[in-house]
Amino acid sequence: MNEASQEELRLLEEWIVLDSENRHYFEQIRDTWNAIEIKKELSKETIQTDLHNVLKRLDEGIDSYENGPINKKWIKNSWILKVAAVFILGFSLSWFVFNGQKSITLQDPVYSVIETPKGSSTIVNLPDGSKIWLNAESKLTYPQNFSATKREVYLEGEAFFNIAKNKNKKFLVNTSGLTIKVYGTSFNVKSYPEDNTVETTLVEGSISIYKNSSDGQSEREIKLEPNQQIVLYKNPKVNMPEEIEPVKIEKQTLNKPGFVLTKQIDTKKFTSWKDGQLIFKSEPLSKLSVTLERRYDVKIHFEDEEIKQVRFTGTIEDETIEQVMSAIVLASDIDYKMKERDIWISRKGNQFSENAKLLK
Q: Residues 272-289: pLDDT tens digits?
A: 999 999 999 999 999 999
Assigned domain for 300 exists: yes
Whether the pLDDT of residue 308 is over 70: the answer is: yes
Summarize pLDDT for 177-216 with one digit per residue, the tens: 899 999 889 999 999 999 989 999 999 999 999 887 655 5
How many domains, the chain? Answer: 3
Q: How confident is the model at residue 159 (pLDDT cuts 50, 70, 90)?
A: very high
pLDDT beyond 50 at 79: no
Same domain, 14 and 156: no
Is there a single domain that holds both residue 21 and residue 162?
no
Tell me, yes or no, whether 272 lies in a domain. no
In this structure, the answer to whether residues 117 and 201 fall within a common structural domain is: yes
pLDDT value for 302? 92
269 occurs within a structural domain: no
Residues linked to residue 138 through DSSP beta bridges, in sequence order: 116
- pLDDT tens track for 322-340: 999 999 888 888 889 999 9
In a domain? residue 193: yes
pLDDT at 246 over 70: no
Inter-helix orientation angle 6-18/80-89, to 10°: 80
Are residues 252 and 284 located together in one domain of the fold?
A: no
What CATH number corresponds to the domain at position 147? Answer: 2.60.120.1440
* pTM metric for this prediction: 0.66
Strands 197-204 and 228-233: antiparallel
Decide if 306 contacts 349 (C-beta within 8 A): no
Residue 206 CB-density burial (10 A; 0-12 exposed, 13-18 middle, 19+ buried) = middle
> Exposure pattern of 33-58 as b/e (b: 16+ CB <10 Å)?
beeeeeeeebeeeebeebbeebeebb
Residue 342 lies in a domain: yes
pLDDT band at 76 (very low <50, low <70, confident <90, very high): very low
The residue among 212, 228, 262 that closes a domain is: 262
Radius of gyration of the chain (CA): 31
Per the structure, the complete domain to which residue 183 belongs is given by 111-262
